[in-house]
Amino acid sequence: MQALVMLGPNQLEMADIPVPVVEPGWALLRVIVSSAGLFHTQMAAGMLDAGGFPRILGHEIVAEVVEAASPASPPPGSLVVVDAVIGCGVCEWCIRGEDSICPWMRHLGIDLDGGFAEYVVAPEANIFPLPSDVDVNEAVMLSSAVPVAVHAVRRSGVTSGSRVAVSGIGSIGLTVCQVARAFGATTIVAADVEDEHLDASLPWVDATLNTRDLDPADVSKRLAELAGCDHGVDVAFETAGHPSSLDAMVRLPRPGGTAMLMGICDGPTAISFDSYLRDFVRREVKLMTTFGYTRQEFLIGNALYLNGRVDVSRLVGDTIELQAIPEVLAHITEHGTQGKRYVVDVSM
List the pLDDT tens digit at each of the 348 positions of the chain.
999 999 988 899 999 999 999 999 999 999 999 998 877 787 777 767 778 899 999 999 999 999 999 999 999 999 999 999 999 999 999 999 998 999 999 999 999 999 999 999 999 999 999 999 999 999 999 999 999 999 999 999 999 999 999 999 999 999 999 999 999 999 999 999 999 999 999 999 999 999 999 999 999 999 999 999 989 999 999 999 888 999 999 999 999 999 999 988 777 777 777 788 887 889 999 999 998 899 999 999 999 999 999 999 999 999 999 999 999 988 888 877 777 889 999 987
How many angstroms separate the CA atoms of 98 and 231, rounded? 33
Within this chain, do residues 168 and 203 fall inside the same structural domain, yes or no? yes
Q: DSSP state, 20?
A: P
The domain boundary residue, chosen from 242, 268, 289: 289
**Does residue 329 share a domain with residue 281?**
no
State the Cα–Cα distance between residues 237 and 254, nearest whole angstrom.
Answer: 13
Question: What's 254's domain CATH number?
Answer: 3.40.50.720
Read off the CATH number of the domain in which 46 is found.
3.90.180.10
Nearest in space to 16 (alpha carbons), one of 53, 45, 49, 56 = 56
User: Are 252 and 210 contained in the same domain?
Assistant: yes
Q: Which of 205, 170, 182, 183 has its CA nearest to residue 309?
A: 182
The count of domains in the chain is 2
**What is the per-residue pLDDT across 272-286, written as a single tens digit (0 to 9) for each?**
777 888 878 899 999
Domain co-membership, 222 together with 299: no
Where in the sequence is the domain holding 260, given as residue range(s)?
147-289
Against a cut of 0.85, is the pTM above it? Answer: yes
CA distance 61 to 344: 10
Same domain, 128 and 168: no
**So what's the pLDDT on residue 278?**
81
Contact 223, 215 (CB under 8 A): no
Shared-domain flag, residues 117 and 184: no
